[in-house]
Structure 1
Amino acid sequence: MSDTPWYLEDRLHYGVGIEDTFIPQEAVGHRKLDEYELTQHYARWRDDLDLVAESGAEFVRWGIPWYLVEPRPGEFDWSWLDQVAERMRELGLRCIVDLMHYGTPLWLDNSFINARYPERVASYGRAVAERYRDVFTDFTPLNEPVVNAEWCGENAKWPPYLSGHDGFIKVTMQLARGMVLTQREIAAVHPDATFVHVDAGFLYRGEGESPLLSRELLEERRFIALDLITGRFDADAPLHPWLTSHGVTEAELQWFRENAVTPDVIGVNYYPHFTTGEFVDGRLVPVRNDGGGLRTLIELYADRYGLPIAVTETSLVGTPAEKIEWMRESGEVLAAMRAEGHPIIGFTWFPFFSMVDWLYRFDQLKPDDWMLEFGIVELVRGADLGLERVRNEAFDVFTRAALDARGAGERSTAR
C-alpha cells in the first residue's frame, strides 16, 4: 500500500455524498429539518452504505447529527455512530466526515452566536476524532460557511435568525473561529488527519446589485471563511473595510493570522442549474451554466490558494439521461483541466439519493411534496410508507467511471 496521501495521488477519486442538513430547532411556522429522518436514512443506513460501496465510490461525504450525538453538553451517545463507523470500516469506505452541516444542538442557546459555540464545536470534533481515529481520517470542520451565514445570519431563515450585513458577519466570524479550533483540536489527537474545506463558491453574471449585495462584494465574499481561517485578512484585504465597519476588530483579525490553519483539500460545490446567479432588475436570479462555469469556479480557487481541489458536490434535478450527460460533460472538463496540470483529485455526486427541499421547513406539506430527485438512486414511497431505494440509469454510468478511475490508479501503482 502506498504511503502517499490519497489527495496527492495523480488520479481522480470518485465519491458520493448523502444529504445531511440538520436544523432541529422548531418555531412557529418553522418545523424541524433533519434530512436523515426525512429520507429514512436512520432506519436504512446499512442498505444505504452498501449501495454506496456497490456504486464503486471510494469515499462518501457523510455527516454526523451533532444534536443527537451530544444531547447534553459534554455527554455523548455513540450507540448509533459506533455501528455506522464499523460498517464503513468493513466496506472499506473512506468517509469525509461532515462535522457541522448547518445546525447546532438544542442546548446551545442562540446557536452560532453563542459565546461558547467555537469551543463547543471544537470539543465535539475532537471527541469524534479521538473515538474513531481508526476509521475516520478525513474531516470537514464545517460545510459551506457562506451558505450557513446566509441562511442563519443574513436571511433570518435558520437559528439564530439574524439578518443583513451585520448578521452575516457576526455568524461568519463565529463559524470561522469554530473551524480553526476544530481543525486544531482534531490535529492534536489525530496528527495524520486530512482536512477538506468545502465551499459553495457561486458565480455571478451581469452588472448591478440587489438591495443588500453588489457584485463586487459577492465576488470577494465567497472566499471570506477560507481567507479568515488561513490568516489572509490584513489591512489590504478587499473586505477589510466591510468587516471593520461592522464591528470586527483588528484584534479579532490578528487572532486568525496568529492561529491560521490550512486545509489539505479545497472542496468546490457546483450545480449547473443554480450555482450561477445573474442580476436582473435588482434581484439575483439562478441561471444555467454548464461545464464552462465549473472550470471557472475551479480556476478561481486554484489560483487563489494553490491547493488540491475536489468537486465535493455536483448533480442536477432531471431525468437519468440529463444526469448522465452532466456526468459526461463535467468529467470531460475535469480531465481537460487535469491534463493542463490542475491538481483536481475528487469528483462527488451529491446527493447520492433524493433529498427533501429545505423549504419543507416552512410549511405543512408532506415530505414527498418537497422531494428533489438529484440522485443516482431515487427514493420511491411504498405501500408500507417506506422509502425504497431504486437505482436509475445514471448509477451504472457512475459506477463505470468510478471503477475505471480506480483501475487507472492501481495500474499506476503497479508500474
Structure 2
Amino acid sequence: MTWYTDGRLHHGVGIEDTFIPQERPGGRALDEYDLTQHYHLWREDLRLAAHSGATLIRWGVPWYLVEPRAGTFDFSWLDEVMTELQHLGLRCVLDVMHYGTPLWLENSFLNPRYPELVARYAAAVAARYPGVVDDLTPLNEPMVNAIWCGRDGRWPPYLTGQHGLVTVLMRLALGMVATQRAVAAVRPEVAFVHVDAGFRWVGHGPDGLGVAEGNEWRFLALDLITGRVTESHPMHEYLVRHGASAADLAVLRRDAVTPDVVGVNYYPAFTTQAVDASGREAPVEAGTDGLVDLLRAYHDRYGLPLAITETSRSTPDVAEKCAWVDDLLDTVDTVRDEGLPVVAAFWFPLLDLYDWSYREGTRPADEYLMPFGLVDLVRGADRVLRRVPNAAFDRWRARVAGFPSR
C-alpha cells in the first residue's frame, strides 16, 4: 500500500522553485531559490516544513545548476538536501522540471533533443536517490509553461501566439512522456504525480475560445500524455490547425503514460479568470466553490487519486490567510466524505515568493515580494531574509495535528 492508496489525507507544503536563468535585454534571471535565499537557508526552510506538521514536501531541482554542462552532473548540493529530507522524515514529491531549462540547451524546448535530454537528467536524479525520491513530477503546470514560453513570449524560447503555444506544449508533452518512461525504466517503483494548473473561465474562454472549449483546452497536456488525443478529441483540430504534427500526436498515443496521482493547482483569487469579449483576462475570487468544481472535473475525466498540489492566498492580512487554511481543510474533509479521492493537500508556497514580473522589471527585488507564505520573509539590516512564521503557520500546524487519520 502506498501513501496515495492508504485512504488517509496527507498534508504537504512546497518551496517555490521557478528557475529561468537566461538573461536578455529587459529580462533578468529569475531563480526563486536565489531570490528567497533558499540556497543558503535551505536547512532552516526544510525544518520549518517539517515543523508545520507536513509529511510531504514539493521541492524542485535547479536543472541548470545540477547539470551545468550537457551530460555532466554536479550532485554535491543535492546530496546534502536529500540527506536532510530523509533525516526529517519528509517525503519529497520532486519537481525535476518546474520551469526553465539549462543555459546550454540551445533554443530551450525547441531543441530537437529536449525530450531525450530532460529524460536523461530526470532518470539520473531518480537513480541516485532511491528511498528518498520515490515520488516525482515530470513537469509542473505544462499549460502555464506553454503560455509563458509559447504564447506570450516572456520566457525562452520566446514564441508568441496560438501556434507558439501549441509548438511548446507538444515539446513539453513529449518530454513528460519521455521522462516518465525513462525514470520508470531505472526505478519501476517511483510514483508519478502530474501537476496541472486548474484553469476556470467566466464569460469567455482563453484566446477566442468559448467557455466549453476552454474547459477542454485546460486538459490538453494531461490528455496528450495519456494518449487521449485522437482525431475524435474535441481539441484535435485546434492542435493540428496550430502546428501539431500527426507524427508527434502518434508518438504520444503510442508512448502514453498514466499518472499515479493527478495534482491540481488552485488559487482562490487567481485560478478563475473572467474573460471579456475582447479577450482581456482578469482574475476573480471563486473561493471553495471553484476548488470543488475543479476537483470534480478532474475526477470525472481521469478517475485517478487527486492531490491539491498548490493552494494559498497572497495577502498581507494574516486573518484572511488563516481563513483559507480552515476553508481548504474543511472543504477537503467534505469532498472526501462525498467520495472524491483527494489524497493530499499542499500549502504552496511555504515561504513568500518573488512575483515573476521581477524578471521583466527594474525595481529592487523586494518590491516584487508576494505574501503567499505561512512563513514571512523579512529582510534585516544584514540583508538576510529572516524566516518568520505567521499566524497562518500556527493555524495550519494546529489543524494538521488535529486532522483525523482516516
Same fold? TM cut 0.5: yes
Counterpart selection for 2:227 from 222, 225, 231: 231
**Alpha-carbon displacement from aligned partner over 1:112-141 (angstroms, at most 9, x marks no partner):** 111000000000000000011121100000
Q: Which residue does the alignment assign to 2:131?
A: 134
Amino acid at match of 1:284: E
Deviation at 1:10, TM superposition (A): 1.2
Q: Which residue does the alignment assign to 2:175?
A: 178
Taking the TM superposition and a 5 Å limit, the aligned residue runs for 1:340-355 are 340-355=338-353
Deviation at 1:363, TM superposition (A): 1.6
Rounded Cα–Cα distance in structure 1 between residues aligned with 2:132 and 2:238: 42
Counterpart selection for 2:293 from 293, 296, 300: 296
Q: Which residue does the alignment assign to 2:273?
A: 277
Counterpart selection for 2:355 from 352, 357, 360: 357
The answer as to 2:57 corresponding to 1:60 is yes
Deviation at 1:213, TM superposition (A): 4.3
The answer as to 2:215 corresponding to 1:219 is yes
Q: Which residue does the alignment assign to 1:403?
A: 401
Deviation at 1:215, TM superposition (A): 3.0
Deviation at 1:281, TM superposition (A): 4.6
Matched residue of 1:205: which SS?
strand
Q: Which residue does the alignment assign to 2:366?
A: 368
Counterpart selection for 2:378 from 372, 377, 380: 380
Unaligned runs of 5+ in 2: none
Q: Which residue does the alignment assign to 2:388?
A: 390
Unaligned runs of 5+ in 1: none
Rounded Cα–Cα distance in structure 2 between residues aligned with 1:215 and 1:159: 29
**Alpha-carbon displacement from aligned partner over 1:46-98 (angstroms, at most 9, x marks no partner):** 11111111111001100000000000011000111000000001111000001
**1:17 touches 1:348 (CA, 8 Å); kept in 2?**
yes
The answer as to 2:194 corresponding to 1:197 is yes
The answer as to 2:149 corresponding to 1:145 is no
Rounded Cα–Cα distance in structure 2 between residues aligned with 1:247 and 1:25: 26
**2:205 touches 2:213 (CA, 8 Å); kept in 1?**
no
Q: Which residue does the alignment assign to 2:105?
A: 108
Counterpart selection for 1:255 from 233, 245, 251: 251
Q: Which residue does the alignment assign to 1:91?
A: 88
Q: Which residue does the alignment assign to 1:10?
A: 7
Q: Which residue does the alignment assign to 1:240?
A: 236
Deviation at 1:111, TM superposition (A): 0.4
Amino acid at match of 1:27: R
Rounded Cα–Cα distance in structure 1 between residues aligned with 2:233 and 2:276: 29
Q: Give the 4+ runs in structure 1 shifted more than 6 A.
A: none
Matched residue of 1:348: which SS?
strand
Rounded Cα–Cα distance in structure 1 between residues aligned with 2:337 and 2:206: 39
Q: Which moved more, 1:96-105 or 1:326-335?
A: 326-335
Rounded Cα–Cα distance in structure 1 between residues aligned with 2:369 and 2:209: 30
Deviation at 1:404, TM superposition (A): 2.7
**1:13 touches 1:402 (CA, 8 Å); kept in 2?**
no
Deviation at 1:223, TM superposition (A): 0.6
Rate the CA distance shift 1:350–1:391 in 2: closer, same or farther, 3 A.
Answer: same
**Alpha-carbon displacement from aligned partner over 1:211-263 (angstroms, at most 9, x marks no partner):** 65443432111111100110001111001111112232333222111111000
Q: How many equivalent pairs are there?
A: 404
Identical counterparts, % of pairs: 53
Q: Which residue does the alignment assign to 1:45?
A: 42
**Alpha-carbon displacement from aligned partner over 1:283-324 (angstroms, at most 9, x marks no partner):** 121101101000001111000000000000000112211111
Amino acid at match of 2:268: P
Amino acid at match of 1:139: L
Amino acid at match of 2:90: L
Rounded Cα–Cα distance in structure 2 between residues aligned with 1:29 and 1:216: 37
Deviation at 1:331, TM superposition (A): 1.5
Matched residue of 2:281: which SS?
strand
Q: Which moved more, 1:131-140 or 1:152-161?
A: 131-140
Deviation at 1:365, TM superposition (A): 1.0
Amino acid at match of 2:235: L
Matched residue of 1:342: which SS?
coil
Rounded Cα–Cα distance in structure 1 between residues aligned with 2:298 and 2:63: 29
Rounded Cα–Cα distance in structure 1 between residues aligned with 2:333 and 2:198: 21
Deviation at 1:101, TM superposition (A): 1.2
The answer as to 2:165 corresponding to 1:168 is yes
> Given the two structures, how large is their TM-score scaled by the length of structure 2?
0.97
Q: Which residue does the alignment assign to 1:188?
A: 185
Amino acid at match of 1:160: P
Q: Which residue does the alignment assign to 1:266?
A: 262
**Alpha-carbon displacement from aligned partner over 1:340-393 (angstroms, at most 9, x marks no partner):** 111001110001010000000012211110000100100000110000000101
